[in-house]
Amino acid sequence: MGPAVPEGARLLVVAGDHDGWRLDRVVAQGLPTSRAGAAALVRDGSVTVNGRPAGRPADPVRAGDRVGCPLPVEVPVPLPPAGTTPLRIVHEDAALAVIDKPAGLVVHPGAGHPSGTMVDWLRQHGGPWSQLGGPERAGIVHRLDRGTSGLLVVARTDSAHRQLQAQLADRTLGREYWALAEGGVLEQEGRVEAAIGRDPAHPRRMAVTGQGRDAVTEFSVLERLPRHTALRVRLRSGRTHQIRVHLAYIGRPVAADPLYGRRDPDLPDRPALHAAHLAFRHPVSGARCDFWSPLPPDLVALRLRRGAPAGTASPWPPDPAEAR
C-alpha cells in the first residue's frame, strides 16, 4: 500500500507512457489547472511524490510514482452587471460555443487584468465550461490578442476541449484573418517562415529569433490601396502575436499596431486585425463547422479612409448569411 494522501488531495499514479515526464506536466494533466498553475503548486510545497514533498517543477517522475496534489479551489470572480455582456454568441450547443469577440476585451485574467475578461462574461452567460486549462481559463481553447476582434471557439466539456486542442495542434482547426498592412505588398501571395520567441530587449514584445519556436504565416492580397494593402492571412502555427510579428518582420506591419508598427491619430486605437473565419470538425458530430464574422465598423471605416472606393464592401470576408 502506498503512502497516504492528505484529505482534500488527489492521488495521481504515473502511467508507463508518462515515465520521465516533468512533474508539473503530470500535475497539469491530472488536475483542472494550467502548466503554470501546476508549477506554482509544486513550488509552494503543495505536491508530494511518494509521500515526500516534491522538489522542482522540472524534476522527472517515473512510472508508478504516486503524486499527491491538492484539489484546486475556484476563487469567485466579480461578474459584470447582468445584461451588459459585449459578446456576440455566433453558435452554441452542449459541447462548445463560438464567440465573436470585440476589440479591447481581454480573453482571460492575467497580470493587469484580474477581472472584466471574456472568461468572466462566459461565467455570467452560464456554464458549464471546460476546466482543462484551469478555472482562470474556463473553456478557452485558443486566444485572441486584446486589440484583435473576431472569432474564437470555447469548450463546454473537457472532451470537446481535448478534441479541439488536437485539431489546433494538427492545424485542422482553420483560422483566417483580415489584416490591413502598411505599404504595398508586391506579390499576390506570400508565406513567412520564421521562428518566434520573446524579444530579449523588450519583454512585452515577441520577435523573430533563432531561439524561438517555428512559425508559418500565409497571406494573399485582397486590395491594394494607396498606402496600405488589405490581406487575407492564414495561420499555420499558433505563436503569440504571430501575424503582427511576421508582417512587421517583412516590413509591412499591421496598421495602427502600437507595439510592432506606429501610432497614428487617424487610425483606430488597436491593430487593424480581425479574425474573420473559423473552421473545425465538431467534436461530437464530426460535422464540418464554418463560421464567419464581418468586418467591425471601425475597420470598415478605416478601409474607406485609406482609399477603398466609396460605397464598396470589402472583397473578403463574405457576408455570413451568404457564406452558409
Domain annotation for the chain: domains and CATH numbers: 9-70 (3.10.290.10), 78-170 (3.30.2350.10), 175-277+309-324 (3.30.2350.10)
Residue of 177, 178, 181, 242 lying closest to 207 (CA atoms): 242
CA–CA gap between residue 85 and residue 72 (Å, rounded):
28
Cell 462566459, residue located: 122
Residue of 280, 199, 269 lying closest to 240 (CA atoms): 199
Q: Tens place of pLDDT for every residue, the chain, 324 residues?
A: 445 544 556 788 888 888 899 998 888 777 766 676 677 778 777 788 998 888 888 999 999 999 988 765 443 434 445 455 567 899 999 999 999 999 988 887 665 556 678 888 888 888 799 988 777 778 999 999 999 999 999 999 999 999 999 999 899 999 999 999 999 999 999 999 999 998 888 878 899 998 889 999 999 999 999 999 999 999 999 899 999 999 999 999 999 998 999 877 777 889 999 999 999 999 999 999 999 999 999 999 999 999 999 888 999 998 876 666
Prediction pTM value: 0.74
Residue of 263, 268, 240 lying closest to 253 (CA atoms): 263
Contacts of 110 (CB under 8 A, 6+ apart): none
Strand (E) or helix (H) holding 127: none
Count of all residues that appear for the chain in the document:
324
CA–CA gap between residue 236 and residue 214 (Å, rounded):
10
Q: State residue 182 phi and psi, 5-degree precision.
A: -75, 140
CA atoms within 13 Å, Cβ hemisphere of 135: 9
Q: Where are the alpha helices (DSSP H) in the chain?
A: 23-30, 35-43, 118-125, 158-169, 242-249, 297-305, 320-323
| Residue numbers annotated as active site | 145
Cell 496600405, residue located: 228
CA distances from 115 to 80, 266, 308 (A): 9, 30, 39
Residue 186 identity (one-letter amino acid)? L
Residue of 141, 116, 111 lying closest to 204 (CA atoms): 111
Longest dimension (CA), the chain: 77
